[in-house]
C-alpha cells in the first residue's frame, strides 16, 4: 500500500462498499455523540485522509492492547481503518528487526516531523534511570522523550500507558509512570482499559483525521464520548440493582437469573468506559453480560483499589484488625479518666468544710 493512498482508495481495494463505509461513519458519529449532520464531514475527511504516519511504542506491557486491536474478529471496518494508517514502527507487528527497525522509527520521525501520531502502550519505568525496560539499548524513558518531540499528538493506549497500570501497582518495583507523567508539552489522549476497546481507539483516530484535533477529554484525559458515563449507569443489569436483586455467589439462583453482580465485587459504579454500550467482539458481549463483575480496568490505580471480588464499598484493608488495639486503648483511657475523676471527687469531699447548725449560732 503506497503511503500516498487515501483511506477511500484503501477501503475500496479491500472490497468495502460506499454504503458500508457511510454506515460505519454514521455509527462512529453516534458513538462519539456527534450530530448526524457531521456524518458527511466525517466521511469526506476519512475518504480523503492520506495515511497518517503512526509510530507505536511498546514499553512495560503484555501485548494485550495490540492483541485487542489486531485480533478484533474478522476484517471489520475498525481493523481496516487501523490497517490503512501507515504504521511505521511497531516492534511487535513490523517485519524489520534490530537496527533496521530503529532506523524505520528515526526515518518516520524525520520525514513526518510535527505530523506523526505517537501511540504508546505500556508504562515507563523511571527508577534507577529507567534500566528496567530497554529497547535496542535505549531506555523506554529516553525513547519516549525522543519520539514525543516531533509528534503531533500522543495516544496512550491501555491503562499502563495511560495511568501506569499493573507495573505501577503497589509496591511499584520499577518506578513505573504513565506517558502523561513524563510528557507535558504535547496533546495527550488516554484510551485506558485492560485492554481498551478497539472501536474506541479507531474512534479517536477518526476524530483526529476528521477534525484535525483530538476529541474533548475528561479530567483523566479520556475521550468524553466513550468514557463520559459509568458502566453502572449504562448496565443492562441496573434494574436488578435498583430492585435489590443481587447474585450472592457465582452459581446461585441470582447468578443464573442474571441479577446484579454488585455484591460479587462489580466496580461498575466507579468505572467509566464504553463496555456496556459498544460491548466487545462486534457487540457480542462484555464481562458483566458473561457473568463476571467489572474489574474497573479503565480507572487509574484499579489494581490497588481492593479485591476484585469484594463490593467496591467494602474497606480494602482489614479495619477490625487495625482498630482492635485502639478499642483496648480507649477502654484503658476511659478507666484511667474515671479513676482520676473519682480521686478528684474524693479529694473534694475530704477538703470540704463541714457546716452544721452549730456553726450558725456564732
Segment interacting with another protein, rule: CB under 8 A, options 47-55, 103-111, 144-152, 322-330: 322-330
At closest approach, how far in Å is the CB of 223 from another protein?
16
Which residue among 216, 249, 341, 346 contacts another protein (CB under 8 A)?
A: 341
Which residue among 33, 322, 343, 346 contacts another protein (CB under 8 A)?
A: 322
Sign of CA dihedral 213, 215, 217, 222: negative
- Could you give the C-alpha distances from 125 to 105, 121, 169, 218, in angstroms and in order? 21, 13, 12, 25
Distance CA 135, CA 144 (A): 11
Do 164 and 193 form a contact (C-beta atoms < 8 A)? no
Residues 253-312 that bind another protein (CB under 8 A): 262-263, 269-270, 296, 299-302, 304-306, 310-311
Candidates 221, 135, 130; CA nearest to 167 is 130
At closest approach, how far in Å is the CB of 68 from another protein?
22
Q: Which is nearer to another protein, 283 or 334 (CB)?
A: 334
Q: Which three cell numbers stand for residue 165?
A: 497500570
State the number of binding residues for another protein (CB under 8 A). 46
At closest approach, how far in Å is the CB of 10 from another protein?
39
At closest approach, how far in Å is the CB of 122 from another protein?
19
Which residue among 40, 338, 346, 347 contacts another protein (CB under 8 A)?
A: 338
Does residue 343 bind another protein (CB under 8 A)? Answer: no
Which residue among 314, 343, 346, 347 contacts another protein (CB under 8 A)?
A: 314
Do 177 and 130 form a contact (C-beta atoms < 8 A)? no
Segment interacting with another protein, rule: CB under 8 A, options 38-46, 128-136, 153-161, 242-250: 242-250
At closest approach, how far in Å is the CB of 262 from another protein?
7
Q: Which is nearer to another protein, 82 or 259 (CB)?
A: 259
Alpha helix positions (H), the chain: 7-13, 18-31, 39-48, 64-70, 77-84, 98-111, 140-148, 158-163, 165-168, 179-182, 198-211, 224-227, 231-234, 238-243, 253-256, 275-278, 319-351, 357-360
Which residue among 233, 253, 256, 347 contacts another protein (CB under 8 A)?
A: 233
Which residue among 100, 331, 343, 346 contacts another protein (CB under 8 A)?
A: 331
Distance CA 161, CA 145 (A): 14
Task: Tell me the HSE value of 333 on the side-chain side, using a 13 A CA sphere.
Answer: 6
Q: Which is nearer to another protein, 54 or 191 (CB)?
A: 191
Which residues, 6 or more positions from 302, have their beta carbon under 8 angstroms from its beta carbon?
A: 159, 194, 267, 271, 295, 296
Binding mask 123-162 for another protein (x = CB under 8 A): ----------------------------------------
Residue reference for cell 490497588? 304
Which run of H or of E encompasses 119? strand 117-121
Does residue 326 bind another protein (CB under 8 A)? Answer: yes
The size of the chain, in residues, is: 362
Candidates 314, 312, 279; CA nearest to 293 is 312
Q: Which residues bind another protein (CB under 8 A)?
A: 163, 220, 230, 233, 241-244, 246, 262-263, 269-270, 296, 299-302, 304-306, 310-311, 313-317, 319-320, 322-323, 326-327, 329-331, 333-335, 337-339, 341-342, 345
Amino acid at each position: 500500500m503506497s503511503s500516498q493512498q487515501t483511506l477511500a482508495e484503501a477501503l475500496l481495494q479491500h472490497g468495502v462498499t460506499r454504503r458500508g463505509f457511510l454506515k460505519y461513519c454514521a455509527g462512529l458519529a453516534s458513538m462519539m455523540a456527534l450530530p448526524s449532520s457531521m456524518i458527511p464531514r466525517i466521511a469526506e475527511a476519512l475518504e480523503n485522509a492520506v495515511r497518517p504516519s503512526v509510530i507505536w511504542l511498546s514499553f512495560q506491557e503484555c501485548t494485550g492492547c495490540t492483541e485487542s486491536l489486531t485480533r478484533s474478529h474478522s476484517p471489520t471496518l475498525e481493523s481496516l481503518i487501523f490497517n490503512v494508517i501507515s504504521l511505521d514502527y511497531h516492534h511487535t507487528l513490523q517485519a524489520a528487526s534490530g537496527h533496521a527497525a530503529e532506523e524505520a522509527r528515526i526515518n518516520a520521525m524525520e520525514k513526518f516531523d510535527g505530523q506523526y501520531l505517537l501511540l504508546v502502550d505500556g508504562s515507563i519505568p523511571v527508577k534507577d534511570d529507567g534500566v528496567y525496560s530497554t529497547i535496542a539499548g535505549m531506555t523506554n524513558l529516553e525513547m519516549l522523550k525522543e519520539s514525543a518531540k516531533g509528534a503531533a499528538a500522543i495516544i496512550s493506549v491501555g491503562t499502563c500507558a495511560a495511568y501506569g497500570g499493573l507495573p505501577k501497582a503497589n509496591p511499584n518495583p520499577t518506578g513505573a509512570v504513565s506517558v502523561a507523567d513524563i510528557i507535558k508539552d504535547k496533546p495527550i489522549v488516554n484510551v485506558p482499559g485492560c485492554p481498551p476497546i478497539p472501536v474506541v481507539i479507531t474512534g479517536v483516530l477518526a476524530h483526529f483525521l476528521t477534525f484535525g484535533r483530538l476529541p474533548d477529554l475528561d479530567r483523566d484525559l479520556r475521550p468524553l464520548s466513550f468514557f463520559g458515563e459509568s458502566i453502572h449507569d449504562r448496565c443492562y443489569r441496573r434494574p436488578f440493582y435498583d430492585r435489590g436483586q443481587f447474585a450472592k455467589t457465582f452459581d446461585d439462583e441470582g447468578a443464573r437469573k442474571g441479577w446484579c453482580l454488585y455484591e460479587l465485587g462489580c466496580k461498575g459504579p466507579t468505572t467509566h468506559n464504553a463496555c456496556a454500550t459498544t460491548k466487545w467482539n462486534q457487540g457480542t458481549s462484555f464481562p458483566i453480560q458473561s457473568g463476571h463483575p467489572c474489574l474497573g480496568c479503565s480507572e487509574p490505580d484499579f489494581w490497588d483499589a481492593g479485591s476484585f471480588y469484594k463490593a467496591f464499598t467494602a474497606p480494602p484493608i482489614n479495619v477490625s484488625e487495625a482498630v482492635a488495639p485502639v478499642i483496648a486503648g480507649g477502654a484503658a483511657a476511659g478507666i484511667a479518666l474515671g479513676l482520676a475523676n473519682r480521686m478528684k471527687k474524693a479529694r473534694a469531699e475530704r477538703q470540704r468544710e463541714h457546716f452544721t447548725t452549730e456553726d450558725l449560732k456564732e
